[in-house]
Amino acid sequence: MFADLLNSTSALPWKIGNTVIPAKRMPLLMGIVNVTPDSFFDGGKHNSPADAFEHAIFLVEQGADILDIGGESSRPGSAPVSEQEELDRVCPVVESLAQFAHIAEISGNNPRKFFISVDTTKAKVAEECMRLGANIINDISACQMDAQMPAVVARTQAAVVLNHMRGNFGTMQQDFKPYANVVAEVCEELDMRAKALITAGVEPSRICIDPGIGFGKSVQDNIDLMKSLDRMLQLGYPVLLGSSRKSYISGIHGLENSDRLIPTVSAGLIAALQGVSALRVHDVREAKESILYLEALKSNGTV
């Protein structure tokens, strides 16, 4: 029975830049780099381009495969940031990381390749970051907040993450309507958004979907989605999970005072067993070690 669990669903391939991430069980790790003063977990810790760059390189050294650079907090109740302010926050970090990767590659001193993602809902920010060397557009609105975003994704040939959310991140936890069937509804809405991007000219292999844990959902909704990640693979797109340190964890009985690290690591392992392609995490080292351990368990050869 345990062997069956280890040999369960495999992840789907995902095209990022010119690289096709092959179908495999072990997920990529997307390290979170918030260049903001108010993000829910680490707001203000890396609130300058220099500090954010240093933190990003630290995450790569810990095992991050993707660096997700964000200049606007999406925590419930957060205030919007102007386009120019977001550009000023994220563009220097993206440019520095792209230059670092290029120099390291041509010098032969880059033992770990990494991709650069921009966490934004603004088309201009996404397009400028892609021009500077980003590879992925991570849009928490599934490309709905800015009507120009689908065209930018298609034109830049970006890989894209479509996150499920209803409403906006300022009010999503106050104004959301209860789901009749959260798994079915999230799958249906993500499928609709993916098809809209394909219609706009986006290559299907570049699309990744995210169930939007914590985005306008109850504690039980989030748990139901966590138990059904493998069902989302039936849509035909790789799945990314962003559950790191999120507040719904504290709504679970007995975890009210948790720092949410151990539940986050546990969620990552559960997601990996269901075939998720990427985990978006604050704590890269802990996630990496847990995934390496799981990989050893499922290996048929020598450890």
Q: Is the dihedral of CA 8, 142, 291, 227 positive or negative?
A: negative
Paired residues of 14 in beta bridges: 21
On whether the CB atoms of residues 101 and 134 are closer than 8 A, the answer is no
Question: Which residue is catalytic, options 25, 193, 280, 288?
Answer: 280
Tell me, yes or no, if 285 is annotated catalytic. Answer: no
Tell me, yes or no, if 280 is annotated catalytic. Answer: yes
Question: Which residue is catalytic, options 25, 166, 245, 246?
Answer: 246
| Positions marked catalytic | 246, 280
